[in-house]
Amino acid sequence: MNILDKIAEVKRAEVEAMKSIVPERSLKVEAFSVLRSVLSMSGALRRHTPGVIAEHKRRSPSKGEIAPMSDVAAVAASYALNGAAAMSVLTDTPYFGGSATDLALARRTVPTLPILRKEFIVDEYQIYESRIMGADAVLLIAAILDSAKLERFNYIAHSLGLETLIEVHTLEEISMVPEGADMVGINNRDLTSFSTDISNCTRLIEALPEGAVKVAESGIRNVEDVARLRDVGFDGFLIGEALMSKTDPGEALRAMTGI
C-alpha cells in the first residue's frame, strides 16, 4: 500500500467515525443553512498577478516537521498583508498536523481572502463540513476518486456555492476532470511516492480543459519558478513548504512573487 492509499484509508475511517457523532443528514441541513457568502477563488487568481494560493502546512509525510508550532491566524494575516490571492489550509491531522479549527481561525482572521480546504476528500460528508468550516473552495484529488465521484463531488460543492480545485498528476487523470470545474491543478508531486518534478506542469498544461483556471502545485521554490510557470500559461500557484519553512511565511511570499 502506497502513502496515498494509506492516507485515504485513514480518512475513510475518520469520516465513518464522524458520521456516528453527527449524522450526514444533520450535517447536510446545517451546511445548506450557512449564510456566509462564498468568495471566488478562481476570480481572485485571475485578478492577481501572480495569483498565489499561499498554504498553511505544519508537516508532511515527505518532509516531516516543517513548522510544527505555527500560529495559523498569524500566518493568515501575514499572507493577506503580503499579497496572497488566496489561502490554502491543511485540515488533515495525522499526516499534516492540521485541523478544522485551523481553517475556522484563518476564516475569522482573513474574512476577505478566499480559502481552500486542503484535504483528502473521499466522501461527500467532507464537502458539507467544508461549507460549515468557512471554506470557499475544496480540493478534489483525481488520484483517490473515480470519474463518477469527481463529477458527483463537483456537483455537490457547486450546489453549496463552493468552488472546486480538481488536482491531477497524469494525462489519464486530466481526462477525468468534470465539466464545469472551476480550477484544475497539476500537482508536480506524485502522491503515491511524494517525489516531486516541477517539469510535470509544463508537460501537461496543454492538455488542460479550456476555460478552467490553471494552477501549478508543489515544488515551486522561488520567483523564477513562478515566472517560468506563468509564462507557459498558469494562472495560479499553490505554494506551501517554500513559505512555511521560512521564519516569516508572509515575507517569503512577498519575495517569491516579486512584489
**The pLDDT of residue 193 is above 80:** no
Average pLDDT over every residue of 14-34:
98
- Assign 210 a pLDDT band (cuts: 50, 70, 90): confident
Residue-averaged pLDDT of the chain = 95
Note the pLDDT of residue 258: 75
**The pLDDT of residue 241 is above 70:** yes
Note the pLDDT of residue 102: 98
- Assign 173 a pLDDT band (cuts: 50, 70, 90): very high
* Bridge partners, 167 (sequence order): 141, 185
Note the pLDDT of residue 257: 85
pLDDT, tens only, 80-123: 999 999 999 999 999 999 999 999 999 999 999 999 999 999 99
pLDDT over 90 percentage in the chain:
89
Q: Report, as residue numbers or ranges, the catalytic residues.
A: 55, 57, 118, 167, 187, 217-218
**The pLDDT of residue 259 is above 70:** no
Q: Is the peptide bond before 50 cis (omega within 30 degrees of 0)?
A: yes
Instruction: Give the integer Cα–Cα distance in Å for 218 and 239.
Output: 6
Note the pLDDT of residue 63: 86
pLDDT, tens only, 117-160: 999 999 999 999 999 999 999 999 999 999 999 999 999 999 99
**The pLDDT of residue 164 is above 90:** yes
Least confident range of 64-73, 152-161, 190-199: 190-199
**The pLDDT of residue 196 is above 90:** no
Q: Treating both helix axes as pointing N-terminal to C-terminal, what angle do 24-33 and 124-133 enclose, rounded to 10 degrees?
A: 40
* Bridge partners, 164 (sequence order): 138
Residue where the block lists cell 503580503: 82
DSSP 9-66: HHHHHHHHHHHHHS-HHHHHHHHHH--SPPP-HHHHHHHSSSEEEEEE-SEETTTEES
Average pLDDT over every residue of 199-220:
92
Consecutive H or E run containing 187:
strand 183-187
pLDDT over 70 percentage in the chain:
100
Burial of 115-139, coded b for 16+ CB within 10 Å and e otherwise, reads bbbbbbbbbbbbbbbbbbbbbbbbb
Rounded to two decimals, what is the model's pTM? 0.95
